[in-house]
Structure 1
Amino acid sequence: MLTLQLVSLAVALGGFLPQVALARPKSYGVWAADSIISRGQGHGLDNNNAPRVSYEHGEFQWALRLLYEKTGNKTYFDYIRTGVDNIVQEDGSVLAYTIPYASLDPLRAGPSFMYLYEKTGAAKYKKAADLFRSQLNVQPRTPEGQFWHRSTYPNQGWLDGIYMADVFYARYTLAYQPTNATAWADVAKQFHLQWAHTLQYPNATDAGITQLLYHGYDSERTAVWALPDRGRAPHIWLRAVGWYAMALVDTLELFPRSHPDYAKLLAYAKFMFPKIRDAADKGSGVWWHIMTEPGRAGNYFESSGAAMFVYASLKAVRLGYVSDADGSIVKGMKKAYGYATSNWVTPLANGTMDWEMTVNVGSLGSNGTYEYYIAQPIALNDLKGAAAFVLASLEYERL
């Protein structure tokens, strides 16, 4: 396991450790996290050591928080703090972040600010969280009230944005405005509208019928990809559904059960997670990159979305959001996790591991075609996927 001295050295070297052989931990979650740290990823800086506010870093920092709580290894806490301190200034301002850009993506780093404020009491972290929360007051919305994913994508709601903004929105509300029923209703509204506009109907004409969620929608139907059916996107993209699934279980954990919208969110979970189980490829146990086109030439099994499904599904069962009386959901996630460790984890000579087969990007700032999605590059050790694997491993290791 990495030592605090090695982490300090990594930061001093701009985030990268020299090739020091590390002992392989028994836990895949620990192994993956230590490998990510050894590569200097997720620490608030980009590849040029410039400050970067990143949802990927926020995702990884959430995984490190869980690892710290599980192991007590302060390495993980210190890495979170180092990463946040690279972007949050003493006055609470956040480097490389401006509200006028109005993207939801940076907000996923917000829970890390709140966590550090809870643990240290340092006022700058609370000020940074307040700054992020203020963005939601001015974020453009569709006529129905869905946050635009970004100011450059008018009237578009993406599944990605639910994970980026609404987990932070819920955590902030719980911590600082727990009786704000209007805020809780607004958090739920984001899930509701996304669900209503993107749920695949059982009589759809797609090759793959999953009854999961298309990537996004344009309420005004002006985007090149927006279909007459609710302005939805043409395809169900695996990772987008993964973002929504993770957001759903993480938000249910925070949402007040006495609020009338809790039952609606819970109903989504009860519907969604059996559908995720059923959508897995029967042979491999994992899921197609484009879920509406199973087996089509160019399609493949993608690792980030699969890891997200394993994490979210196992957590949903563990916390009782979905019944698994016959054990089929857990059985399915075990099979998927086994495929992941056998096919996407590559041990390295220095004791770390590589994470394979994560697509670099999938954006509705495109033409939204099948050809677009399958043409996007597959990245080695992409943090979106590697961090999701840490989360999936932590849930799997609870079994």
Structure 2
Amino acid sequence: MVRFNHSRGVLVLGIESQGLAILRSLGRAGISTVLLDQDSWGVARFSRYGSPFFRTPRYSDHRAFADFLLEVADRLGLEHGGWTLFPTDDDQVEAISRFGEKLSEVFKIRVPCWEVVSRVLRKNLFYTTADELGIPHPRSWFPIGELNPSDLEYPVIIKPVTKTRFGPEFRVKAIKISGPEDLERTIDHLASRVPIDDMLVQEFVPGRGDCQMSFASIRTLDGRTAGFTAVRKRQHPPEFGKASTYVKAEAIPEIIEYSQRLLSHLDYHGVSEIEFKRDSGTGVVKMLEMNARFWGWHSIGSRCGLDLPRLLFDDIFGSSDVMPGMRDCSAQWVKIPTDLPIALGEIVAGRTSFIDTLRLYLGIGNVENATFSPEDPFPFFAEIALIPYLMARRGY
């Protein structure tokens, strides 16, 4: 338990594994935290680094969510300018960026303005930016109401323009379409539940989950960047993963230049993950999307000498001028409860071995476990106990 300091700390926005990783990183450094989530239960609430918890309004109600952050600061008597916000969800990012001027009267904000964030969260704008910079990405069609389904080469996918409405409604990241009739039928079905302008059609990029890779980084206001690259070895569900289950840090030089070009063009600052996928047919690497927040497996950075929550905190409050730069390492990250069924399928298919999986789960080597830590074991067991609840509430 960290002694609570009203003058400096972090509101950790999210109580799942990414929030837990932030809590542990800051707690080990003696930094005060407050946990907030729109849901009542998550693994971070069981950490030894426990802190006050508040249930928020729905993240999608951006104004109400932003107002609640100010209310929490007032309730706890937090010193103005001494606390900051670490988001883990796209709607949180949108709320902070849209109401940043008001929030910055109380908090130190390191989320970019809405002009920048909108070009990250809105995929049609994101791909337009990629075109301007000459960065390859999957061919996309938007708005889909103007499409002639017979003009497309199949398969294609339908995915959301933003994650915030499509994902919670259908609990999938994308839908694979086999032909024109399938496309028309699927659009009609989706349009009965979400606005048609919240969807786009995109070419299907062939390749398993392990063709997906990421550039993870923190970028300062003056453009200094520290980061590393990693491969998504397994994900859940396997084809269009909503979440990674096993990630391995590897050197992937070709995506670093694309990523730094994008971050520089946006004048982006803060933490981010930029996702790519290698087309297994052509070998071309294509940029998929960007997370302008902490993501599920960010804690692997600590195994590469880049403790992202601590680096961001120190950068915001000027605790250190050191920014480590780019790192190459061979660390691994795993979330056992969600990885286990995927790994069993890989073992049966002969794509991985039982021994390698066992070594990974036992933490042999440079392995970061999403929820288990010898110094803080309870979140892991709480996660197992919460699986039925999480399946019902979030689709896990």
TM-score (norm 2): 0.31
TM-score (norm 1): 0.31
Higher strand content, 1 or 2: 2
